[in-house]
Amino acid sequence: MNFNIAIIVSFLFLADYGAASQVLDISKFGGAPNSDITQAFANAWKEACESTTAVKIVIPSGTYKLNAIDAKGPCKAPIEIHVDGTIQAPRNQDEIKGDTQWVKFSYMDSLTLSGKGVYDGQGAEVWKQKTGGPAWSGKGKMPKVFMNFGFNFVNNTIVRDITSKDSKNFHVLVFACHNITFDGFTISAPKDSPNTDGIHLGKSTNVKILNTNIGTGDDCVSVGDGTKDLTVQNVNCGPGHGISIGSLGKFTTEENVERVLIKNCTLTDTDNGVRVKTWPNEPATLTITGLHFEDIIMVNVRNPVIIDQEYCPWNQCNKQVPSKIKITKVSFKNIKGTSGTAEGVVLICSSSVPCDGVELNNVDLTFNGTPTVAKCTNVKPIVTGKAPACQAPAA
């Protein structure tokens, strides 16, 4: 009986696999190594999107050129894009056509990006042109194309094993998405590459970033407004600016951030560790709640644990007017390692809406072999286990 059941199960598995394995090799559409495959990919996407059965678009080993693509749904069946080669963006931003996202997916359900391939944004020439700070500061020059990947209104999607390299700006934007997972993903850019955030999220729910390595010139993960039910687990961050909630509060249309878990992560030689940042002197009123930072290792991280409600880079605001954003229910638990400064914990909350429900539990950080201290303003954290007691800031 068991043997017969095994045969039936195997048959059903093979039948299902066969039904879901329509393969479209890019060569079918004229895409060949050492050539521009922009039109070939567009044609492959059109056929895949119109198919009523699941389709896998395959780009095999080799080096390919690709201009901006805008892969739109809705499509009729699941689509997988499997890349084993290296796909290169144009070096010159003026040669790139289309939107501010090089590889853009919109209005999709059941999308998979897979393979051992590399999406190379070739951002070095653009980085040289950006001087004096980000464009919103009024001092920098922003490139025409901002990022390697854009996921917009994309649901039930997985990105696994691929690499995003040297994006001209952000590597990945996740906007208005639901149930999207990054697993075994790699993001790579030099530590001096400006504004090359790893994964930036906004107005998205149920996002998971798992088993991922991120080394870049800005935040490894940056969490924008409207993010809810985010898990970042088993992520290695460094170089970069750490894992950040925010910055938030600059625009009146911003939505609450709720239920974020950052767990089992290692940050190495980053400017910051885990951070919450909001703007003072801005009109937005929203709530940040349910943040849990757990089981995190810091290796020579300059500012390991931060709440900063006076975030004001490039002196673009007035710190005398407090942030209107309420931060509540935040826990820092089992955070260990080495700090690059004596103040391993800095909690600067708003005088207008002080932080509530902040917990420091087993936060064990050292600076030059000595336990770090905590600086706290407008917050009275619950301190348990081995954790630094709060000190008032210097007058």
**374: helix, coil or strand?**
strand
Q: Which fold has domain 2-391?
A: Pectate Lyase C-like (2.160.20)
Domain boundaries, the chain: 2-391
- Mean pLDDT value across residues 320-328: 93
Q: What is the pLDDT of residue 378?
A: 97
What confidence tier does 98 reach under pLDDT thresholds 50, 70, 90?
confident
Establish whether 292 is a catalytic residue: no
Are 198 and 175 in contact, with CB atoms under 8 Å apart? no
From the list 82, 171, 200, 241, the catalytic residue is: 241
* Residue 268 CA: distances (Å) to CA of 182, 238, 245, 273, 277: 21, 5, 18, 9, 20
What confidence tier does 154 reach under pLDDT thresholds 50, 70, 90?
very high
Q: What is the pLDDT of residue 130?
A: 65
- Mean pLDDT value across residues 365-381: 96
Total length of the chain: 395
pLDDT in tens, 166-188: 999 999 999 999 999 999 999 99
pLDDT at 343 over 70: yes
Q: What is the pLDDT of residue 14?
A: 35
Please report the DSSP string for 286-336 in residue order.
-EEEEEEEEEEEEEEESEEEEEETT--GGG-S-TTS----EEEEEEEEEEE
pLDDT at 131 over 90: no
Residues facing residue 296 across a β-bridge: 335
Rounded CA separation 48/40 (Å): 12
Q: What is the pLDDT of residue 282?
A: 84
Q: What is the pLDDT of residue 21?
A: 63
Establish whether 364 is a catalytic residue: no
Amino acid (one-letter) located at 45:
W
Q: Compute φ and ψ for 79, nearest 5 degrees.
A: -130, 135
Q: What is the pLDDT of residue 19?
A: 43
* Residue 78 CA: distances (Å) to CA of 101, 160, 184, 363: 22, 16, 21, 44
Residues facing residue 336 across a β-bridge: 297, 364
**Least confidently predicted of 10-24, 68-82, 112-126:** 10-24
From the list 120, 197, 218, 219, the catalytic residue is: 218
- Mean pLDDT value across residues 242-247: 96
**180: helix, coil or strand?**
strand
- Mean pLDDT value across residues 227-253: 96
Q: What is the pLDDT of residue 144?
A: 59
Residues 6+ apart with CB under 8 A from 338: 298, 299, 300, 301, 365, 366, 367
Q: What is the pLDDT of residue 374?
A: 96
What confidence tier does 395 reach under pLDDT thresholds 50, 70, 90?
low
Q: Which residue has the higher pLDDT, 354 or 316?
A: 354
Q: What is the pTM of this model?
A: 0.91
Q: Which residue has the higher pLDDT, 136 or 82?
A: 82
Residue 136, Cβ neighbours under 10 Å: how many? Answer: 12
Rounded CA separation 96/295 (Å): 42
**8: helix, coil or strand?**
helix
pLDDT at 109 over 90: yes
- Mean pLDDT value across residues 332-355: 97
Q: What is the pLDDT of residue 281?
A: 85
